[in-house]
Structure 1
């Protein structure tokens, strides 16, 4: 990395062979975690960040064992770096949007418009990053390239890394193809944007409140030891149950509007 380049990614080992990667210079709306898991036979990376800075340049060790990237859903803050990986997987309901190109911008007003976000009178940031990653970087050039998947995931699918097996949980609501990944041996859940310790987003154009409620009912009873989410800090089963129940209470009696369809027809 050049002397004038910003150290864009923060890394922390949160468990044996589990590394959290985050982007501290990104606005909290799209500042996501992604997770590097090392198995005996191969590695996987759960989500891939915004893609503002090339992962191969910033974290070359990430690619030494030809990892598979597992995308929890098709939003820019989780798939921006995915085109760098040769082996890519996501739920089938997200495949069409990924192939078409995920809506993306580093300009706040443009991004809110593309995602269908109502700012509800709150100030919209001019830029979604608080510094440029290097001299001469032009935020207007940022985009998420269309990508095809090597593997379409469904509920109950298993990904074996050797000594570490992840089970796919299809938990729609935030998006039609939102998934979480459960390592049953350790009770570790990689939850993407299905659940994290903050206000959950269920009002995007392809969100579905009724589906989200069913997903939360499932999570409220799920036996886990720790949740590693797509945003914010990790938490335990007690907090997971609290978050699920809070969502269910807050959405009690809500009649969702008809679900708008994704570009892929889901």
Structure 2
């Protein structure tokens, strides 16, 4: 489906592009000499394949950071063109279901509300604060009556330690459960670049959803903090890239949540589900209510 202007595309490093759906999901395109890699395919609200083709004509490897609908929404539009759609082996069975209508309907409502609140804030901001940036603007939401996220069978299974050779650059697969059991990050040792998916985000970490595990999240983020990261590319929110300092702060935060040394308060997530909210500098961790964290 055509959605003009939905994506925000920008170069975010040598041979690396962020293809953002501002306020929603960030996908990333990396270019090698022989192969391009698309890390996540977004919401499926617009044709991410069209954006990719504007940037490169290289054969395409699609890698989903995990099975959640908002990171594989464009898989169906790419299935006929991609050399492979690759996922972690633990996540393959989780790709067999399309997004249910009630989830799509709920998210459409959230997206419209996000845009409305952004417009209200931007109007105040334009009066003199100038905190917003028109280059990374939360987009108006198109008509989503025909929005669908179909199930697409992966064609390649990835495991811890696999190396993805793009020709002239290689990335290592890191299994990073926590947000979901099949989460993977991609690490480029030669440059210190880390593609982090939802293992690192600049907003609220969802550690309360089905399949999430706080202890695993703490282990995965600590592992990432021990890497010589130069740039971490994040899965959500307008602030899409961070440094090693941020990775270390996230690891410390999850260790505190795991160890019970925070002071959470009752709140809700964006879908209205009850959570405990643990606030930190620049982000928050949401965990299940009533002591049901893993």
With the shorter chain as reference, the TM-score category is: 0.7 to 0.9
Which of 223, 242, 255 is the equivalent residue of 1:235? 242
The answer for the alignment partner of 2:96 in structure 1 is 99
TM-score where L is the length of structure 1: 0.79
The answer for the alignment partner of 1:263 in structure 2 is none
Q: Determine whether 1:36 maps to 2:25.
A: no
Q: Determine whether 1:66 maps to 2:66.
A: no
**Structure with higher strand content:** 2
Gaps of 5+ in 2: 116-139, 262-289
Q: CA deviation at 1:214?
A: 1.5
CA–CA distance in structure 1, aligned partners of residues 94 and 209 of structure 2:
14
Which of 179, 201, 209 is the equivalent residue of 2:214? 209
1:8-157 superposed matches below 5 A: 8-24=6-22, 28=23, 31-62=24-55, 64-85=57-78, 86=82, 87-103=84-100, 105-108=103-106, 111=107, 125=110, 127=112, 130=115, 131-133=140-142, 137=143, 139-157=144-162
Give per-residue Cα distances to partners, 1:30-73, cap 9 Å, x unaligned: x1111111100110101011011122445533562221111001
Give per-residue Cα distances to partners, 1:134-170, cap 9 Å, x unaligned: xxx4x23222111111110111001000111010000
CA–CA distance in structure 1, aligned partners of residues 293 and 74 of structure 2:
32
CA–CA distance in structure 1, aligned partners of residues 111 and 242 of structure 2:
32
Query: Do the aligned residues in 1 keep the contact of 2:178 with 2:216 (CA within 8 Å)?
Result: yes
CA RMSD in angstroms, aligned pairs only: 2.6
CA–CA distance in structure 2, aligned partners of residues 189 and 41 of structure 1:
21
CA–CA distance in structure 1, aligned partners of residues 155 and 93 of structure 2:
13
Which of 246, 253, 256 is the equivalent residue of 1:246? 253
The answer for the alignment partner of 1:196 in structure 2 is 201
The answer for the alignment partner of 1:175 in structure 2 is 180
Gaps of 5+ in 1: 113-123, 260-266
Secondary structure of the residue aligned to 1:21 is strand
Query: Do the aligned residues in 2 keep the contact of 1:107 with 1:128 (CA within 8 Å)?
Result: no
